[in-house]
């Protein structure tokens, strides 16, 4: 069971917090760190989620200290799993150094990219070919907040290949079911669904 989970949420602060809260409840003796860009809601009182709010991504031409902080946090925390919400390498590629640190570790962390059904569909477009290549190169698993049947038509062909990364479709209902299924995959005690 994975007990040190790093969640990076550059944009969807609500989902990031819900996911981190559920992880910390599932692994009470573990550590769950939510790293966000900008600020979001505080965890519920009594929650064991640790939150690090990085400054928003800065405009071009200014130094982004968040890039260094994120890589340093990943190096020091040595998570068993990292989950990134949305863009595979972040809005400006800020995740590449942190993912490289994790890949170079003696026991590499399991790397998950959490996507909505719409984000999964966008990966199929020619304009997002770079994002799809980044997903396949840097991650072990795609965690899709959508239903398998609904995603058949929109999933990129590259995810259907036998050698492709693992894919789990956890559902899109607004209840806690999808979050619980996502957490089970993250901590390593849930069913893994191969790409369609």
At residue 113, the pLDDT reads: 93
Read off the pLDDT of residues 184-194 as tens digits, 9 standing for 90 and up.
988 887 544 54
Read off the pLDDT of residues 128-178 as tens digits, 9 standing for 90 and up.
788 888 899 889 999 999 998 888 888 898 888 888 898 999 998 756 689
Instruction: Write down the pTM of the prediction.
Output: 0.86
CA distance 5 to 76: 13
DSSP string, the chain: ---EEEEEESS-HHHHHHHHHHHHHH-TTSEEEEEEES--PPPPTT---EEEEEPPPPPTTS--HHHHHHHHHHHHH--SEEEEESSTT-TTSTHHHHHHHHHHSSSPPEEEEEEEHHHHHHTTSGGGHHHHHHHHHH-SEEEEES-HHHHTTTS-GGGGSTTSPEEEE----SSSHHHHHHHHHHHT-S------
- For residue 146, give the nearest of 179, 183, 117 by alpha carbon: 117
The number of CA neighbours under 13 Å toward the Cβ of 105 is 21
Structural domains in the chain, CATH included, are: 4-187 (3.40.50.2000)
Read off the pLDDT of residues 7-66 as tens digits, 9 standing for 90 and up.
998 876 788 899 999 999 988 888 899 998 877 788 888 888 999 988 776 655 566 677
pLDDT above 60 (res 77): yes
At residue 196, the pLDDT reads: 45
96 or 35, which is more confident?
A: 35
């Amino acid at each position: 069971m994975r007990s040190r989970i790093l969640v990076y949420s550059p944009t969807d602060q609500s989902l990031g917090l819900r996911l981190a809260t559920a992880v910390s409840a599932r692994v009470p003796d573990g550590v769950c760190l939510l790293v966000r860009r900008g600020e979001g809601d505080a965890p519920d009182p009594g929650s064991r989620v640790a939150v690090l709010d990085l400054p928003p991504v800065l405009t071009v031409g200014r130094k982004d200290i968040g890039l260094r902080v994120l890589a340093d946090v990943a190096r020091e925390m040595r998570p068993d799993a990292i989950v990134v919400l949305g863009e595979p390498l972040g809005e400006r590629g800020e995740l590449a150094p942190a993912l490289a640190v994790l890949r170079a570790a003696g026991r590499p962390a399991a790397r998950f990219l959490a996507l909505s059904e719409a984000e999964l569909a966008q990966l199929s477009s020619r304009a997002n070919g770079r994002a799809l290549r980044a997903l396949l190169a840097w991650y072990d698993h795609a965690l899709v907040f959508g239903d398998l049947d609904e995603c058949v038509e929109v999933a990129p062909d590259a995810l259907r290949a036998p050698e492709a990364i693992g894919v789990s479709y956890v559902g899109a209902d607004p209840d806690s079911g999808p979050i619980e299924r996502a957490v089970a995959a993250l901590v390593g005690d849930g069913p893994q669904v191969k790409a369609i």
